[in-house]
A and B are shown apart, each in its own frame.
Chain A
């Protein structure tokens, strides 16, 4: 099975900062990675798919990069509404594993 790890597990930022979250797959998975945002008490929301493609309606301050085993989610110009936990997911092959999450505090 493909394991997904994320770092850091939590981070603090100030409004206007640029933050980067890293996700690493235990095997190469091409660009079959999605990133989700889950705000407290809410349903997860798709931000990015195919490692770097922004889902419709997602602000352009979110961006994704990577392929193979190493992936990043960057939030430039962090806003108060970005307080959430961010999860990466492998969808290259089953099991469609999620990373453990990165909690962003402002």
Chain B
């Protein structure tokens, strides 16, 4: 079964840092691009970042503060979040791109259950 499971969320103060992890199983991880998508409470979906086999992409709102990376040997994708702000409060979902060509330009066919990040003093 193809599965993604996020971890690392929690309560952090403004200006703090968190590292989110997403463990994958059930597919040939190194061949697929992965995404992070977030959803603030009661709001819609916001694409945050993507990683292909070798390239990274970011939403303007997180560029310079967030860093996406992957460890193909462990089948894990990470999202390092620095300089946390209140508007980063959201559920963070890890998603897998449907097509295994390594490119980010595909629909997300598998979503993890999400991990909640709360930024508050």
Contacts and interface: CB of A to CB of B under 8 A. Distances in A.
Interface of A: 1, 32, 34, 36, 38, 43-46, 49-50, 55, 85, 87, 89, 91-101
Contacts of B50: 94, 96
Q: How large is the interface on B (under 10, 10 to 19, 20 to 34, 35 or more residues)?
A: 20 to 34
B105 A91 contact: yes
B47 A34 contact: no
Interface of B is mostly: loop
B111 A98 contact: no
Interface string B38-52: 000000111100100
B35 interface: yes
29 contacts: A36-B45, A36-B108, A43-B93, A44-B37, A44-B45, A44-B108, A44-B111, A45-B111, A46-B98, A46-B107, A49-B98, A49-B107, A49-B109, A85-B44, A87-B45, A89-B47, A89-B108, A91-B105, A91-B106, A91-B107, A93-B105, A94-B104, A95-B57, A96-B105, A98-B37, A98-B45, A99-B44, A100-B44, A101-B45
A101 B108 CA distance: 16
In the A-B complex, list the 10 residue pairs whose CB atoms are closest, starting with the nearest.
A34-B107, A49-B107, A96-B47, A98-B45, A94-B57, A101-B44, A43-B111, A46-B109, A100-B44, A91-B105
